[in-house]
Amino acid sequence: MVNLETILSWFQTGDYPTQEEFEQTFSSFRHKDTKIPITEVDGLESSLNSKLSVDDLPSNMALVDGGQPSDVFNKEQIMAMAMMLSDYVKDGKIRADKIEALGLTDLIESNERNIAEFASNSGKYEFQQNDFIAVPDDKGNFSLFIFKGEEKNDTKNYLPTGLTNITMSMVEGLQNALNTKLDKPAVNGNYFVKMNGTASYQSINPGSDHLLFWNGSEFKNSNIFRESSGLKYGIGTTTPAEQLHLTSRARMSGLVLENNTETLPQQLTYNSKKFFGTDDAGVKRPLMFADNADFLSLANSLTDTQKTAWKTAMNGGWTTNTMSVAVITPPVVDNQDKNYWLTLKGANLNLNPANFSVEIMDSTGANVVATVPNSQVQLYTNGLDLTFYFNFKDIPKGQYRVRLNNGVASFTTGASVELSVVNAISSYDFTSVTWSKLENTADINTINGVNNAISYVANSANKAFANDNTVVSVIKSSQLIGANENFYIDFTFSTGSGLGASRFDSRFGLCDSSTNLLLSFINVAFCRVYSTKAPTDGSGIIYAQGVGKGGSYHSVSASRCIINRNNGLTTVIYIHTDNSVLTSSFAGVNQALSFSAQASNALGNSPSSFDLVINSLYLY
């Protein structure tokens, strides 16, 4: 038998081993089917002879290990730890198939295709001196090398055996070992190994920066996206705007917010024991807790206007603003057995139909004289009017006030807006009224009066149209009201579309009956409608005895009443065009009165006109 060093020298690079050298080489090794007698294993027989068979150990015998720490083992434990010779020896010889298990040598299968690559990657393998290295080629054959020791990454330490074209069938157990291995996937990609009786590769194709989920049989792409920086996550979106961005609803048992003072549109935050909501314009508002303290805090933060609006809403949308009454028409009624319709004009009179009352009070306003049934009251949503009818036959002669209740507050008319009840009242008969007029040019008939009606239409034949603001037409009635007489008169008028298109001034009202007709403004108690600028700005003004209202009026429809009570004169204009009211009070008149109207000149391209009707006149 030739020693190993000699054999290795025959198979160095460039050598050509002879037949005799091959024969001596293979004769120097045992075939795996050749059993090794115990006597030929150096020292084994003498070692075995010095050992006691485990089966011969008495059951009460123990093995004491004197190491640190010391241990004591009973027979059962000794048998578990002992190597059973029967597993490794047959017919007194070591079994060749157990040589590797005994650590005599190993066969290392290389994944590399040449010995140089194997040496470079030798750190991946566990092997030692005298172990065989099987290097495969692309055809499934192997070349054998023996590692002679020293540095594993040096190819000089691997000796070729000269055996090539070794097939898997020539290496016992290699095919079975390979059968337990997985073939590489045919294409590059991401895979996981799936075990379902047999092992197989399953591809994984996640979207970039998307998280995966396991559906029970494979990994699938989820809709959870992670921004490349790793700071933002999106569910349902690949462009998360926040640390966590959801594109649909979220449900949870609770949401805990940290203190946060920032303000962003459409944001819900918590800070200083308050929750805050921000609208899409970035306006931040505190949310209110459902307790008394927060409710009072809200109430105390409201302005008076806001409090009024709140009360109105709580009153079903009906007014709770401070009510006022400028005039009661007619201001005088008699106590004959008949119904009188009375109209109150003022502000915030749109009372709640479900909760209101109208009462007749004495002259002090402290005592209720009568209550008007709600069925006899007509309410209007404009807030400017309230109408009711009532039979005053049981009300003594005197002065009275009216109290309104809107369900939240009450209002009683003042001394200047009283209702007079008299024993008899006379309504004026206008059929006997006569009218006299004066024009810049006689008999042009620009202005005319019949019974209780007046009309005016500008005519250049009366005077050439110009913005000179001179009076060109005047009309006056016969005497209507005697000296020192209490009266109530109301009339309605409307202007043509020329108002505001040129300078124009028209006046309607009462004048001293003894005044001669002149082409001038002669009113004692009048209503004035005029345009201040020309020709096209539409700036019209309505003026009532000290009170005026401007606006872009191209035409005006209005009503006016004049009340004289014990030498105290009250005048009210209700402008239908924009539902507004003008009220003024001043010293009364004591002379006999007629009704008069006057009109000024205007530009010809916008002739001006008006119509007027006296609706009623009461003397008392």
Tokens at 465, concatenated: 């149209």
Residues ≥6 apart with Cβ < 8 Å to 130: 4, 105, 146, 147, 148, 149
- CA neighbor of 558 nearest in space, from 483, 471, 466, 495: 495
Q: What is the pLDDT of residue 154?
A: 93
Determine the average pLDDT of the residues in 336-354: 89
> pLDDT averaged over the chain?
80
Determine the average pLDDT of the residues in 274-280: 92
Determine the average pLDDT of the residues in 461-482: 89
Range from 86-95, 124-133, 249-258, 474-483 carrying the lowest mean pLDDT: 86-95
Task: Show the beta-strand stretches assigned E in 215-313.
Answer: 219-226, 233-235, 244-246, 268-271, 274-278, 284-286
Q: What is the pLDDT of residue 444?
A: 92
> Residue 315 pLDDT more than 80?
no
Tokens at 406, concatenated: 């809107």
Residue 556, class by beta-carbon neighbours within 10 Å (0-12 exposed, 13-18 middle, 19+ buried)?
Answer: buried
Please list the residues that pair with 596 across neighbouring strands: 476, 509
* Residue 108 near residue 81, CB atoms below 8 Å: no
Determine the average pLDDT of the residues in 336-351: 90
> Residue 62 pLDDT more than 60?
no
Determine the average pLDDT of the residues in 457-467: 87
Chain center to CA of 415: 54
> Residue 580 pLDDT more than 50?
yes
Q: What is the pLDDT of residue 407?
A: 82
The 10s digit of each residue's pLDDT in 379-393 is: 988 888 899 999 999
Q: What is the pLDDT of residue 105?
A: 66
Helix (H) or strand (E) run with residue 47 in it: helix 44-49
Q: What is the pLDDT of residue 97?
A: 53
pLDDT above 70 covers a percentage of the chain that reads: 77
Highest mean pLDDT among 156-165, 184-193, 257-266, 554-563: 257-266
Chain center to CA of 164: 79
Q: What is the pLDDT of residue 99?
A: 46
**Count of CB atoms within 10 A of residue 519's CB?**
16
The 10s digit of each residue's pLDDT in 535-556 is: 333 344 565 555 665 555 556 7
- May I ask the CATH class of domain 430-619? mainly beta
Tokens at 444, concatenated: 């042009």
More confident residue, 382 or 491: 491
The 10s digit of each residue's pLDDT in 112-133 is: 989 999 999 999 998 888 888 8
- CA neighbor of 236 nearest in space, from 218, 223, 217: 223
- 3-state SS class at 556: coil
Write a three-state SS string for 26-42: HHCCCCCCCCEEHHHCC
Model confidence at 605, pLDDT cuts 50, 70, 90, reads very low
Tokens at 502, concatenated: 């040129």
Please list the residues that pair with 37 across neighbouring strands: 93
Determine the average pLDDT of the residues in 237-252: 91
Model confidence at 484, pLDDT cuts 50, 70, 90, reads confident
d(CA 110, CA 152): 14
Residues ≥6 apart with Cβ < 8 Å to 326: 345, 346, 347, 417, 572, 581, 583
Highest mean pLDDT among 45-54, 390-399, 610-619: 390-399
Model confidence at 397, pLDDT cuts 50, 70, 90, reads very high
Residues ≥6 apart with Cβ < 8 Å to 571: 525, 527, 544, 545, 560, 561, 562, 563, 583, 584, 585
- May I ask the CATH class of domain 324-424? mainly beta
d(CA 150, CA 132): 15
> Residue 619 pLDDT more than 50?
yes
Reduced DSSP (H G I as helix, E B as strand, rest coil) percent helix, strand, coil of the chain, to 5: 15, 35, 50
Separation in Å, CA 142 to CA 109, 157, 221: 9, 19, 43
Tokens at 285, concatenated: 């508002």
Single-letter amino acid code for the residue at 48: L
> Residue 14 pLDDT more than 50?
yes
> Residue 500 pLDDT more than 60?
no
Q: Where are the domains of the chain?
A: 4-175, 183-246, 324-424, 430-619
Model confidence at 19, pLDDT cuts 50, 70, 90, reads confident
Q: What is the pLDDT of residue 533?
A: 46
More confident residue, 226 or 528: 226
Q: What is the pLDDT of residue 230?
A: 82
Q: What is the pLDDT of residue 526?
A: 67
Q: What is the pLDDT of residue 539?
A: 41
> Residue 276 pLDDT more than 60?
yes
Model confidence at 523, pLDDT cuts 50, 70, 90, reads low
Tokens at 167, concatenated: 């097939």
Residue 224, class by beta-carbon neighbours within 10 Å (0-12 exposed, 13-18 middle, 19+ buried)?
Answer: middle
Residue 582, class by beta-carbon neighbours within 10 Å (0-12 exposed, 13-18 middle, 19+ buried)?
Answer: buried
Q: What is the pLDDT of residue 296?
A: 85
Determine the average pLDDT of the residues in 348-367: 92
Highest mean pLDDT among 195-204, 248-257, 518-527: 248-257
Determine the average pLDDT of the residues in 447-464: 92
The 10s digit of each residue's pLDDT in 207-229 is: 888 888 888 888 888 889 998 88
More confident residue, 341 or 497: 341
> Residue 65 pLDDT more than 70?
no
CA atoms within 13 Å, Cβ hemisphere of 86? 3
* Residue 505 near residue 528, CB atoms below 8 Å: yes
More confident residue, 120 or 77: 120
Model confidence at 364, pLDDT cuts 50, 70, 90, reads very high
- Tell me, yes or no, if the two domains 324-424 and 430-619 fold the same way: no
Tokens at 418, concatenated: 């009283």
d(CA 136, CA 166): 9
pLDDT above 90 covers a percentage of the chain that reads: 27
Determine the average pLDDT of the residues in 235-240: 92
Range from 1-5, 54-58, 408-412 carrying the lowest mean pLDDT: 54-58
Q: What is the pLDDT of residue 85?
A: 47
Write a three-state SS string for 74-131: CHHHHHHHCCCHHHHEECCEECHHHCCCCCCCCEEECCCCCHHHHHHCHHHCCCCCCC
